[in-house]
Amino acid sequence: MILSIFETSILNLKNKYSQLIKSEAKRLGFTSCGIAKADFLEEEAPRLEQWLKNSYHGEMGYMANHFDKRLDPRLLVDGAKSVISLTYNYYPENQQKSDSYKLAKYAYGEDYHFVIKSKLKDLYRFIQKEIGEIDGRVFVDSAPVMERAWAEKSGLGWNGKHSLLIQKEAGSFFFLSELIVDLDLEYDHPFKTDHCGTCTKCIDACPTDAILPNSTIDGSKCISYFTIELKNEIPNSVKGNFEDWMFGCDICQDVCPWNRFSKPHNEPLFNPPSKLLEMSKRDWEEITDDVFKKVFKKSAVKRTKYNGLQRNIQFLKN
């Protein structure tokens, strides 16, 4: 099939715009950027429905809301044509003492929602300045967007057995975010190869059996769910299984062979507050509300609040 001069011109323009966006994303600090056509997620629909029916979302009632919007980005942005998926590295150069209560690495520094949303808005403004009046919205883990599905469709990596996106050259310690726009762009090829193979390290290492053999996560059993999402008392049935994780959990990522390729991030805002990494169990047990507010003033740890963190520490301690 021979393309007309007009069709060739359109394709060249799409390519130009796509490369322009990817280049600016890299300048802003994003580690990778991929683009997919905004369409209905047909394959994900039955999986999401079954996941909810199995009550794997636990008390996270919001996961059952906006079912249609989760599957169709065109319901989030009128006339949406493209989903731009981006990754941002958060792997720290230094980590907590091994004999302390533990925070998930993503929570060491400032709240990623604000840090990355600011950069996404910069990217959006760049697109509008360089390309024209484009309508769109930015998303950072705070709206009904199936980010891992879109990242996979954008060619950024594959979903591992622990359900997180993995990249051969970078592992999985990175944030995902999206910019949905009403602009036709050149689309990347979906990532089709699962490089986890027969490895079951993440499944075997999960102390609460939250990772199921069929690459599904029972969110209601995840340590992150218990220490962040659950507002009631943590059930005694999981006592002794948290391995000192007081906010979130990195076990499945720490044991993943692909994370040997993780490299320290270059984002100053993700660096931990002074002395946080050196805090002992006793330091955490004696932390006051005032100190909590000071240390975690701009942190994602604020989600669990002081009382929530105290609940988690007492659960680990007793």
pLDDT at 315 over 60: yes
- Whether residues 19 and 140 fall in one domain: yes
Number of domains in the chain: 2
Q: In this structure, what token pair is assigned to residue 46? A: 């039955």
- DSSP reduced 3-state for 150: helix
Domain with 107, as residue range(s), is 5-181
- Whether residues 166 and 236 fall in one domain: no
- Whether residues 10 and 76 fall in one domain: yes
pLDDT tens digits for range 117-155: 999 999 999 999 999 999 999 999 978 999 999 999 999
pLDDT at 5 over 80: no
Q: What is the pLDDT of residue 166?
A: 98
The DSSP string of 192-247 is: ---TTTT--HHHHH-TT--B-TTS-B-GGG-HHIIIII--SPPPGGGTT-STTEEE
The mean per-residue pLDDT over the stretch 286-307 comes to: 94
pLDDT tens digits for range 8-19: 777 888 999 999
End-to-end Cα, the chain, rounded Å = 71
Q: For the chain, what is the mean pLDDT?
A: 95
206's CB contacts (< 8 A; 6+ apart) are 162, 251, 252
pLDDT tens digits for range 279-292: 999 999 999 999 99
- Whether residues 131 and 220 fall in one domain: no
Q: In this structure, what token pair is assigned to residue 291? A: 């100190």
pLDDT at 25 over 60: yes
- Whether residues 9 and 132 fall in one domain: yes
Asked whether residue 75 is domain-assigned, the answer is: yes
Measured CA distances, 94 to 56, 90, 217, 272 (Å):
33, 11, 29, 9
Q: What is the pLDDT of residue 10?
A: 78
Whole-angstrom distance, CA of residue 152 vs CA of residue 160: 11
Q: What is the pLDDT of residue 142?
A: 78
Q: What is the pLDDT of residue 3?
A: 62
Q: What is the pLDDT of residue 2?
A: 56
- Say if CB 75 and CB 193 are below 8 A apart: no
- Whether residues 208 and 305 fall in one domain: yes
Asked whether residue 192 is domain-assigned, the answer is: no
pLDDT tens digits for range 230-264: 999 999 999 999 999 999 999 999 999 999 999 99
Taking Cα atoms as reference points, which of 74, 182, 188 lies closest to residue 124?
182
Residue 55 CA, chain-centre distance (Å), reads: 21
- Whether residues 175 and 45 fall in one domain: yes
For the question of whether the overall pTM of this predicted structure is more than 0.85, the answer is yes
- Whether residues 177 and 207 fall in one domain: no
| Candidates 39, 122, 141, 182; catalytic one | 141
- Whether residues 71 and 149 fall in one domain: yes
Whole-angstrom distance, CA of residue 216 vs CA of residue 264: 29
Name residue 103's beta-bridge partners: 247
Percent of the chain with pLDDT over 90: 90
Question: How do 174-181 and 136-139 pair as beta strands?
Answer: antiparallel
- Say if CB 70 and CB 144 are below 8 A apart: yes
pLDDT tens digits for range 177-221: 999 999 999 999 999 999 999 999 999 999 999 999 888 999 999
pLDDT at 76 over 90: yes
Q: How confident is the model at residue 62 (pLDDT cuts 50, 70, 90)?
A: confident
Is 194 part of the annotated catalytic residue set?
no
Q: What is the pLDDT of residue 318?
A: 78
Whole-angstrom distance, CA of residue 182 vs CA of residue 216: 32
Listed range (8-12, 60-64, 91-95, 223-227) with the worst mean pLDDT: 8-12
Q: How confident is the model at residue 6 (pLDDT cuts 50, 70, 90)?
A: low
